[in-house]
Amino acid sequence: MSTPGTPSAGASEQEVPVCYRHTDREAHIRCQRCNRPICPDCMQPASVGFQCPSCVREGSKGTRSARTAYGGQRSGDPTLTSKALVALNVAVWVAIVATGGSRSTLVDRLALTPRGFTRNFVDGTSQTVAGVADGAPWQLVTSMFTHVSPVHIGFNMLVLWTLGPQLELAVGRVRFLAVYLLSGLAGSAAVMWLSPVHVSTLGASGAIFGMLGALLVMTVKVHGDVRSIATWIAVNFVLTFLVANISWQGHVGGFLGGLLVGAAVVYAPRRRRAAWQAAGLGAVAAVVAVATALRVAQLA
């Protein structure tokens, strides 16, 4: 029997918990993940309580970045790419307007002309216009960002501003740019083969039609209501064939390119999806490049 106020002979002093990382420091808080004691220097705020640095690192490794349904990195601002594309198109248009509008030499340099020609003026002077087959391959790309008419650029940018963010939200920024640029190049290839060789073509319409084609493929893939996107496509094709001086060749080529690129993105198998998508996009790019190269060789 023990005397009051005197500890029992078998009793031991209660041990003070110490931090598992700093054993010389007392620790009265435990990690919410591993339950080990941690000192104030090791306490990392978590959604509930605190975690130790080791568990925070492990959690970061296990947390995957937010991805879209088709494997792309989810954009923090899905309007950003469309804004940049609109700004680039507008900047080129302003430069053309400031240097003479339709008479600006920028138009001859940037617009897509399959084969060059000599333009004769009423005052007896002449000017040589270079084409893709004459050593101006950049026109395949620059023509996609070149406009002269305010109505032309206004309509194209309206469609881009309306549908571009939707497409980027669905597939991510990189895949959206792939759709836009490859569709535009497909439109350029169609112009090379189907348009008169001495006629210049310009505008973002090939890329715009490619966006429409890709959105149509995605809507079909998820068994969605295609009426809205089909209306956009129908209206644009009606204008293509009813309004004078519109390049139906670029529109059709861009639309077909968008269908192919869209299919490569949304129908890629889940297993190794990124590799399948890259292979599909590479195949479309190769077909466009070979078709363009063959036409250039033929014209040259």
User: Which pLDDT belongs to residue 12?
Assistant: 45
Rounded Cα gap, residues 246 and 174, in angstroms: 29
More confident residue, 280 or 44: 280
Whole-angstrom distance, CA of residue 37 vs CA of residue 230:
61
The answer to whether the CB of 171 falls within 8 A of the CB of 179 is yes
Q: Are 147 and 156 in contact (CB under 8 A)?
A: yes
Per the residue annotation, which of 143, 195, 205, 247 is the catalytic one?
205
Mean pLDDT score across all residues of the chain:
89
pLDDT at residue 65 greater than cutoff 60: no
Q: Which CATH class is domain 80-299?
A: mainly alpha
pTM value is: 0.77
Would residue 147 show up in a list of annotated catalytic residues for this protein?
no
CA distances from 69 to 64, 170, 222, 261 (A): 14, 7, 11, 16
Q: Is 205 a catalytic residue?
A: yes
The per-residue pLDDT for 38 is: 87
Say what the pLDDT of residue 40 is: 80
Q: What is the pLDDT of residue 63?
A: 46
The pLDDT value given to residue 61: 58
The domain spans of the chain are: 16-59, 80-299
Residues 109-153 pLDDT 10s: 999 999 998 877 777 777 788 999 999 999 999 999 999 999 999
84: pLDDT strictly greater than 70: yes
